[in-house]
């Protein structure tokens, strides 16, 4: 998606350890107009798949997932990283390791909101090693729902996550795929 690539080139910042900071428009301060375009693009790519639920993980994917769900006219479920008093009863749970935070989280979704009749599109902001995406896929499997695919805003294609997920048979649509990045050389797209 050219609009997104141009925004990454203009406002993204590369930090050490292959970290791309896009916090000025994607995952801290949010450009809602851009999110609307991202949601519309995911809708275009998955339009004929019968999506009736959008699933993401807290926190950075929620805004994008909401505008994608608006385009589809369906609800958003976000996997919580902590059990709260608000989640009572049966839950699906699995563990994911956060590349950004260097922590392992138990992610949780109430069984009330995800089940056999659901056709799920997973939405997330980044795909690098694929841990969060694998965790979300496991929740969909545990619910016996049908996974339509995964919509990713930015994929670090030089890391293994995308290849691992695709090789398992999951359709992954990334709006910007980065093949290389460095402080000196900037960002190069696939």
C-alpha closest to that of 34 among 59, 58, 10: 10
Cα 51 to Cα 95, 145, 177: the distances in Å are 25, 11, 24
pLDDT of the chain, 190 residues: tens digit per residue: 999 999 999 999 998 767 999 999 999 999 999 999 999 999 999 999 999 999 999 888 999 999 999 999 999 999 998 766 666 679 999 998 876 677 888 899 999 999 999 999 999 999 999 999 999 999 999 999 999 999 999 999 999 999 999 999 999 999 999 999 999 889 999 9
For the domain spanning 2-189, the CATH number is 3.40.50.2020
Domain coordinates of the chain in residue numbers? 2-189
């Amino acid at each position: 998606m050219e609009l997104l690539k141009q925004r990454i080139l203009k406002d993204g910042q590369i930090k050490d350890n292959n970290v791309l900071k896009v916090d000025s428009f994607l995952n801290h301060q949010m450009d809602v107009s851009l999110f609307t375009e991202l949601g519309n693009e995911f809708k275009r790519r998955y339009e004929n798949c019968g999506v009736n639920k959008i699933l993401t993980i807290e926190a950075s994917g929620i805004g994008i997932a909401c505008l994608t769900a608006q385009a589809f006219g369906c609800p958003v479920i976000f996997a919580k990283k902590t059990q709260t008093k608000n989640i009572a009863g049966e839950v699906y749970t699995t563990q994911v390791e956060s590349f950004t935070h260097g922590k392992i989280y138990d992610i949780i979704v109430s069984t009330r909101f995800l089940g056999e009749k659901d056709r799920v599109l997973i939405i997330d902001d980044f795909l690098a090693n694929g841990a969060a995406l694998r965790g979300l896929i496991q929740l969909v499997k545990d619910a016996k729902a049908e996974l339509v695919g995964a919509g990713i805003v930015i994929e670090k294609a030089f890391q293994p996550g995308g290849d691992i997920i695709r090789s398992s048979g999951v359709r992954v649509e990334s709006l910007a795929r980065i093949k290389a990045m460095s402080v000196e050389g900037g960002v190069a797209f696939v």
